Structures are given as C-alpha cells and as structure tokens.
Structure 1
Amino acid sequence: MMNLSRQGATDMDHLDTPRPPISAFIIDSLDAEDVTASGIWISESGETRLALSVDGRYDKMQGRRQSTYSGRYACDGNSIRFIDDLDFVLTGEIIGAELRIGTCVYRRA
C-alpha cells in the first residue's frame, strides 16, 4: 500500500487528488523534466512502446495493440509517476537513457 503522507510538496502531488473528468483535465504548465521525458520509449524485447507526449499524457502499446494503457504522467527529478485512465498508479525512474518501471527497462527510440 502506498503511503500518501509527505513532508513536502512535490510536482506530482496533484496526481494524488481525485481525477476530474477527462474533458476538464487541463495541464497548465510543464516542467523541464516532463519535456525531457517525452518521446518514444521501447522495452528491451521491443514488444512494448511507451509514447510520452509533452502535454503530460502517455500511451502504452504492446505488440500490435495500440493504446493498451493510456493516462497521464508527471516527473519530479528522476522519478516519474504514471496514472492510467482507470486510476492505476505506477512509479519509475529515468536514469540516463533508461526508463525503469519495476523490472521493465525501456530505452529511447
């Protein structure tokens, strides 16, 4: 279970709040880390691709299946948090040219 209590506010705090309807979800501004994370990331096997857009949205493609998962993401330093459109949360980190989410490793396309 994720502990939501924090001592200080981060750029990702807004992701812990209840999600408004998609039509009302507007990203006012992006920080440099979001823009740096944007692009296409491919798993080591080549079967899974993550498309991170500069507007804070992501789309996960597995094999031939487009939009297997989609949602929003935000960065705080090297940490990255994904919340899919059904409110499932994943966290990972970007280290150099690698994006690590759990045991999955993605590299920039």
Structure 2
Amino acid sequence: MWQTDDNRVRHQLLPNGRYDEARGTRESAYQGRYEVEGNYIQYWDDTGFTADGTFVDENTLHHGGMILRRRQ
C-alpha cells in the first residue's frame, strides 16, 4: 500500500499487475493495470486514462504531483 501523508490517496499495487486507488472516502475510485521498469511505473486505468510515476527510493513514490509513501 502506498499513500499520501494525509491518507487522501491510497494505491494498492497488486502482485497480478493490477492496481486499486482510493481517493478520500471513495474506495476503488480508480482501477487498472500497471507495469514497473526500473524505478519507473506506468498506469493504465480501466477507463483509458494513463499516468506514470517514479520510485525515488524503496519507500517513496512520486506520482501525478503527489508524494506517496509505502505503508508498513
């Protein structure tokens, strides 16, 4: 699970190459597939939206102007 410090955005990167993103109180606000190559991640939402991000280190993900941290 990756989340913003305020817990508003939460990403679950599932082992089957799918993701589930919650926004605020809206669970599963976005779902789709993802691929990781090195420290780069690309997302393809089921609605056709695309996004990407960069893993800065093992606990920090920069995505769409947000900083998400790995939840332990």
Using the alignment, how far apart are the partners of 2:67 and 2:39 within structure 1? 14
Name structure 1 gaps, 5 residues minimum: 1-39
Q: Taking structure 2 as the reference length, what is the TM-score of the superposition?
A: 0.91
What's 1:107 paired with?
A: 69
The structure carrying a bigger helix percent of its residues is: 1
Using the alignment, how far apart are the partners of 2:35 and 2:11 within structure 1? 14
What's 1:72 paired with?
A: 33
What's 1:43 paired with?
A: 4
The structure carrying a bigger strand percent of its residues is: 2
Q: Give % identity.
A: 36
1:99 Cα deviation from its structure 2 partner: 0.8
Name structure 2 gaps, 5 residues minimum: none
Q: Are 2:42 and 1:81 equivalent residues in the alignment?
A: yes
Which fold has the larger relative contact order, with Cα–Cα distance below 8 Å and residues 6 or more apart in sequence?
2
Q: Could you say which structure has the larger radius of gyration? A: 1
Q: Taking structure 1 as the reference length, what is the TM-score of the superposition?
A: 0.62
RMSD between superposed Cα atoms in Å: 0.8
What's 1:98 paired with?
A: 60
Secondary structure class of the residue paired with 1:106: strand
**Number of matched residues?**
70
Aligned amino acid, residue 50 of structure 2? V
